[in-house]
C-alpha cells in the first residue's frame, strides 16, 4: 500500500519531468550547435537525455562547465584551452547506467573520459532506499549522487541540490549509519522533484520577503524556502515511518517522527495560505503529498 503510494507519486512527476527535460534539451541542442560552429564537439543523445536521469544529470554538469568557460573567455584566453580540453574528453553514461555515486573530490575525474579509477563508496544506504520503497521515487529525481564528505555518526549532515543541475544531489556519507545517508538523499531528491514541478508549471515562488518562521531552520524564510521545507520533510517522515515499520530503532525513530510531524502540523495552515497565492496546482500537490502520511503519524 505505502509503496504503491510512492509509485503513484512517481507517475505524477513523470510528465512534469518530461516537460522540463524538453525545455532543457532545446538549450543543450543550441549549445551543441554553437560549439560545432567553432570546431568543438558537444554531441549528446536526445533520447538518452529524455529517458535516463543520470545521462541528463551528467549532460547538465557538462553544460554548466562549458557555459562558465564561455563566459570567462573574454577575460582570459586560458579558458578557451580549458574549454577545448573539456569538449575533447567528456564522459557520458551508457544506457545500462542509471545512477552514479561519486566522491566530491573526484567529480571532475568522473566526468572526464577516459576515466581514471575512482575510489569505491559504501553503498549500504541503497538497501535502506530499497527496503522503504523509495528507490523508484529517488530514481525519478536523481541520477548523480555526489558524496562531499565522509563523516562520523554524530556529525551534522550537510546536503544540497539546486534547480539548474537537475537530477544531481550532494550529501555527506555517514559512517555506519546508512539510514541517515539515505534520509539525506530522500530529502534532496524531494527538492529536485519539487523543482521539476515548479518549472514544468511555470510557478515562481517568491524569494524576496523573509516573512515566515520555519521550525526547521529556526529562522524567517521566504515562500520558496518554506514550501520546499514542508514538501521534503513530508517525504522524510514517510521514509522514517517505513523504516520504523521494518524494525528500525523504534524509540529513536518515534521521537524524530513525532518532532517532524508536529512541525508539519504547525506549519500546514501557513503553507496553505502561501499556496493559495499561486496556481492551484501547487496547493493540490502539497495537500496530496501531505495526505499520504500514514494516519497514525499524521
Residue-number span of the structural domain to which 87 is assigned = 1-177
> Is 187 within the bounds of a domain?
no
> Would you say residue 3 has pLDDT above 70?
no
> Would you say residue 277 has pLDDT above 60?
yes
> Would you say residue 184 has pLDDT above 70?
yes
Task: Give the per-residue pLDDT at 278.
Answer: 98
Q: Which residue has the higher pLDDT, 20 or 6?
A: 20
Both 138 and 218 in one domain: the answer is: no
> Would you say residue 126 has pLDDT above 60?
yes
Both 9 and 95 in one domain: the answer is: yes
Task: Give the per-residue pLDDT at 2.
Answer: 45
Both 146 and 8 in one domain: the answer is: yes
Task: Give the per-residue pLDDT at 18.
Answer: 97
> Is 147 within the bounds of a domain?
yes
Instruction: Indicate the pLDDT class of residue 292, thresholds 50, 70 and 90.
Output: confident
Task: Give the per-residue pLDDT at 195.
Answer: 97
Both 290 and 166 in one domain: the answer is: no
Instruction: Indicate the pLDDT class of residue 73, thresholds 50, 70 and 90.
Output: confident
Average pLDDT over residues 240-246: 93
Both 50 and 92 in one domain: the answer is: yes
> Is 220 within the bounds of a domain?
yes
Give 90's Cβ-side CA count (13 Å radius).
22
Both 81 and 44 in one domain: the answer is: yes
Task: Give the per-residue pLDDT at 117.
Answer: 86
Both 44 and 144 in one domain: the answer is: yes
> Is 182 within the bounds of a domain?
no
> Is 183 within the bounds of a domain?
no
> Would you say residue 237 has pLDDT above 70?
yes
CB 257 within 8 A of CB 240: yes
* Whether the bond into 114 is cis, omega within 30 of 0: yes
Both 171 and 271 in one domain: the answer is: no
Specify the pTM.
Answer: 0.93
Angle at 252 between CA 193 and CA 249, to 5 degrees: 90
Both 155 and 230 in one domain: the answer is: no
Q: Which residue has the higher pLDDT, 90 or 275?
A: 275
Question: Number of folded domains in the chain?
Answer: 2
Both 23 and 99 in one domain: the answer is: yes
In angstroms, rounded to a whole number, what is the distance separating the alpha carbons of residues 214 and 267? 8
Instruction: Indicate the pLDDT class of residue 114, thresholds 50, 70 and 90.
Output: confident
Task: Give the per-residue pLDDT at 142.
Answer: 97
> Would you say residue 297 has pLDDT above 60?
no
Instruction: Indicate the pLDDT class of residue 1, thresholds 50, 70 and 90.
Output: very low
Could you tell me the three cell numbers for 106?
Answer: 573526484
In angstroms, rounded to a whole number, what is the distance separating the alpha carbons of residues 53 and 49? 7
Both 61 and 141 in one domain: the answer is: yes
Amino acid at each position: 500500500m505505502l509503496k504503491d503510494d510512492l509509485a503513484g507519486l512517481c507517475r505524477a512527476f513523470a510528465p512534469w519531468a518530461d516537460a522540463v527535460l524538453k525545455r532543457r534539451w532545446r538549450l543543450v541542442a543550441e549549445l551543441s550547435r554553437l560549439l560545432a560552429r567553432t570546431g568543438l564537439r558537444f554531441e549528446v543523445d536526445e533520447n538518452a537525455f529524455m529517458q535516463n536521469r543520470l545521462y541528463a544529470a551528467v549532460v547538465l554538469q557538462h553544460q554548466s562547465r562549458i557555459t562558465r568557460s564561455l563566459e570567462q573567455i573574454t577575460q582570459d584566453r586560458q579558458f578557451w584551452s580549458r574549454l577545448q580540453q573539456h569538449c575533447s574528453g567528456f564522459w557520458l553514461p551508457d544506457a545500462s547506467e542509471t545512477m552514479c555515486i561519486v566522491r566530491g573530490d573526484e567529480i571532475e575525474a568522473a566526468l572526464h573520459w577516459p576515466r581514471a579509477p575512482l575510489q569505491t563508496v559504501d553503498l549500504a544506504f541503497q538497501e535502506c532506499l530499497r527496503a522503504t520503497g523509495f528507490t523508484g521515487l529517488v530514481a525519478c529525481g536523481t541520477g548523480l549522487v555526489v558524496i562531499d564528505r565522509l563523516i562520523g555518526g554524530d556529525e551534522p549532515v550537510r546536503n544540497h541540490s539546486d534547480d539548474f543541475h537537475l537530477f544531481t544531489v550532494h550529501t555527506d556519507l555517514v559512517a555506519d549509519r546508512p539510514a541517515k545517508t539515505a534520509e539525506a538523499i530522500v530529502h534532496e531528491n524531494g527538492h529536485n522533484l519539487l523543482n521539476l514541478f515548479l518549472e514544468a508549471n511555470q510557478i515562481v515562488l517568491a524569494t524576496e520577503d523573509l516573512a515566515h518562521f520555519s521550525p526547521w531552520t529556526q529562522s524567517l524564510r521566504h515562500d520558496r524556502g518554506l514550501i520546499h521545507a514542508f514538501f521534503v520533510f513530508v517525504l522524510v517522515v514517510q521514509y522514517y515511518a517505513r523504516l520504523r515499520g521494518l524494525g528500525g530503532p523504534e524509540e529513536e525513530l518515534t521521537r524524530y517522527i513525532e518532532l517532524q510531524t508536529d512541525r508539519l502540523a504547525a506549519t500546514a495552515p501557513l503553507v496553505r495560505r502561501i499556496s493559495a497565492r499561486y496556481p492551484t496546482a501547487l496547493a493540490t500537490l502539497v495537500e496530496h503529498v501531505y495526505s499520504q502520511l500514514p494516519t497514525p503519524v499524521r
